[in-house]
Amino acid sequence: MSSNPVLYPAVPPYVVPLSNSSPPLTAVHGLDNHKDITLLQFPSSDDAFAVRTFTEHLIETGRIDDYATDKRGSRFLQKVFVSGDMPIRQKLTDHFLKMDIFIKLCDDIFANFFLQKLIEEARSNEQATICSLLETNMVTFSHGRYSCRVVQKAFECFDVTNCLSLIGKLDGAEKDLSLDQNGNHVIQVLDDSKWKIRSISLS
């Protein structure tokens, strides 16, 4: 036998593609602000390592917000968040619960769906963080075409303590919201939340 060791070829690391041959997709922000963005090619959902590496790359390069505001990108991030391991879920949570980012994306036509998913999966300490972010301007969020959905999801998913805290921020604005096409939906969920809280208190 030869004394020379067998040298195996090195396996190259997963490289995130820097361009995409497909035409740019359009992400719609809020009602009137349109922005064309070119998305990188999505990795196969069957390759967990590639998906995680790709998502980490988006966070590190600051492009993750562009994906959240794109229809396909938002769906991709929702799937990653639900099926991903704890480290990548935590990285996504830490990024999107930054105040400026959360507030900016809350009333976006596609990003609001990801934030709703984050609320559904939020642990108690994360609920408290989201609650504090919404409390910065609950009335405005409740009037927003898309942010009102985020508020509704919070009332549906949060524990009693956080729901009571959010309800307090709407004190005095109920009539105004009930006459608003978006705020009216929040008021309906708010009434359901009050009944839920009363039921828990009486049990």
* pLDDT tens for each residue of 46-98: 789 999 999 999 999 999 999 999 999 999 999 999 999 999 999 999 999 99
The structure tokens listed for 72 are: 């396909």
Q: 128 and 181 share a domain? A: yes
Which structural domain range is residue 127 located in? 123-202
The predicted model scores a pTM of: 0.79
Domain termination site, one of 79, 98, 121: 121
Task: Name residues whose C-beta falls within 8 Å of residue 95's C-beta, 6 or more positions apart in sequence.
Answer: 59, 64, 101
Q: Within this chain, do residues 164 and 188 fall inside the same structural domain, yes or no?
A: yes
DSSP conformation class of 144: S
Are 120 and 6 a contacting pair, CB within 8 Å? Answer: no
What are the beta bridge partners of residue 37? 25
Together in a domain, 69 and 87: yes
- Model confidence at 22: pLDDT above 50: no
pLDDT at 200: 58
Query: Looking at the 3D structure of the chain, how many domains does it have?
Result: 2
What are the distances in angstroms from CA 134 to CA 27, 169, 180, 191?
24, 9, 19, 18
User: Is residue 24 a part of any domain in this protein?
Assistant: no
On whether both 133 and 95 belong to a single domain, the answer is no
* Cα–Cα distance for residue pair 105/41, rounded to 1 Å: 23
Q: At what angle do helices 147-157 and 111-121 cross, to 10 degrees?
A: 10
- Best CA proximity match to 49, nearest among 73, 4, 85: 85
Q: 118 is written with which tokens?
A: 């984050």
